Structure 1
C-alpha cells in the first residue's frame, strides 16, 4: 500500500462493502484512467469508507448517471468523463481522460464545479494521488446529517445513498426526517432530470 492510500485510510477508516474488481474491468480502463487508480482497484477493490460516507465505484455502472447529468452541456464535449467516486449524499467525483479530476457535481442542488486543468499522461498518476490525499470526511457530509442518518436509517449498501424525499429541488426540507435510503443510480438519474445543471460561482469557466 502506498503512503497516499495509507493516509486516506487514516482519515476515513477501514473499508465496508468491499467488492473485488475483475481483471476485465482493469483492462477496460487502461489508458482511460490513471494506472495508479487501477492499482488501487486491484489492491483495495471498490468500497465504502468512513462508515459509508465516501465510496469508490465501478465507472461502468455509473455511465447512465454521467450521461444523464452532462449530456447536452459543454462538459459533454470538453472531455470523456468517468465517475470514480461519490458521497453518501450524491456528491459526484468525475475523472476526465485528458483533464483528470476536473469536475465535481453536487446532485442534491444540481450544481457543479469545473476545474481548468492541463496534465500530461505521466502527470495523471500524481493527480490521482493528490485527489485521494485531499479527500476529507467532513466535506462529504451534508449539513452534519451523516451520523444521524447512519444511526436512524442504518449503514448503506454499495448501491445505496441517502436521499431527500421530496427532493430539495422540488421544495423538500433538508432535515433528517425527510431522508431515506434509496438506490444510488436510480436516484441520481432522477435528480438529474429535475432542473438544469448550473455552475457554482467559484467554478472555472468551460471553454
Structure 2
C-alpha cells in the first residue's frame, strides 16, 4: 500500500461493502483513467469508507448521471468526465480525462466547484494520490447529519445515498426528519432535472 492511500485510511478508517473490481472494468478504463486509480481498484475494490460517508465507485454506473448533470453546461464539451467517488449525500467527484480532479458537483444544492489541477498529462498518477490525501471526513458530511442519519435510517449500501424529501431545490428543509435512504443513481438523475447547475460562487450583479 502506498503512502497516499495509507494517509487516506488514517482519515477514513477501514472499508465497508467492498466489491472486487472485475478485470473487464480495469480493461475498460485502461488508458482513460490513471493507472494509479486502477491500481487502487485492484488492491482495494470499490467500497465505502468512514462508515459509508465516502465511496469509491464504478464510473460506468454513473455515466447517465454525468450526462444528465452536464448536458447544456459548459462542461459538456470541455472534457470527458467520469465519477470516481461520491459522498453519502450525493457529492460527486468527477475526473476529467484531460483535466484530472477538476470538478465536484454538490447534487443536493445543484452547485458545482471547479479546481484547476496541476496534475495533468503525465502527472495524472500523482493527481490520484493528491486526490486521496486531500479527502476529509467532515467535508463529505452535510450539516453534521451523517451520524444521525446512519443511526435513524441504517448504514448505506453501495447503491444508496441519504437524500432530502422533498428535495432542497423544491423548497424542502435540510433537516434530519426529511432525510431518506434513496437509490443513488435514480435520485441523482431526478435532482439533475430540477434546476440549472450553477457555480457555488455566483458573480455579483
Q: TM-score, normalised by structure 2?
A: 0.96
Alpha-carbon distance, 1:120 to partner: 4.2
Aligned residue number for residue 107 of structure 1: 107
SS at 2:75's partner residue? helix
SS at 1:181's partner residue? strand
Aligned residue number for residue 42 of structure 1: 42
Alpha-carbon distance, 1:118 to partner: 5.3
Alpha-carbon distance, 1:98 to partner: 0.6
Q: Output the CA distance in 1 between the equivalents of 2:176 and 2:76.
A: 34
Matches within 5 A, 1:41-190: 41-117=41-117, 119-190=119-190
SS at 1:131's partner residue? helix
Q: Is the 8 A contact 1:98 1:119 kept in 2?
A: no
Alpha-carbon distance, 1:201 to partner: 1.1
What residue ranges of structure 2 are gaps of 5+ in the alignment?
none
Alpha-carbon distance, 1:69 to partner: 0.2
Aligned residue number for residue 191 of structure 2: 191
Q: Is the 8 A contact 1:5 1:132 kept in 2?
A: yes
Aligned residue number for residue 4 of structure 1: 4
Aligned residue number for residue 23 of structure 1: 23
What residue ranges of structure 1 are gaps of 5+ in the alignment?
none
Instruction: Using the TM superposition, name which of 116-125 and 142-151 deviates more.
Output: 116-125
Matched positions, count: 203
Instruction: Using the TM superposition, name which of 112-121 and 44-53 deviates more.
Output: 112-121
Q: Is the 8 A contact 1:113 1:202 kept in 2?
A: no
Q: Is the 8 A contact 2:18 2:47 kept in 1?
A: yes
Deviation above 3 Å: which 4+ runs of structure 1?
117-120
Q: Output the CA distance in 1 between the equivalents of 2:67 and 2:91.
A: 16
Alpha-carbon distance, 1:115 to partner: 1.8
Structure 1 pair 46/175, CA: closer, same or farther in 2 (3 Å)? same
SS at 1:61's partner residue? helix
Structure 1 pair 6/117, CA: closer, same or farther in 2 (3 Å)? closer
List per-residue Cα deviations over 1:51-76 (Å, max 9, x = no partner): 00000000001000000000111101
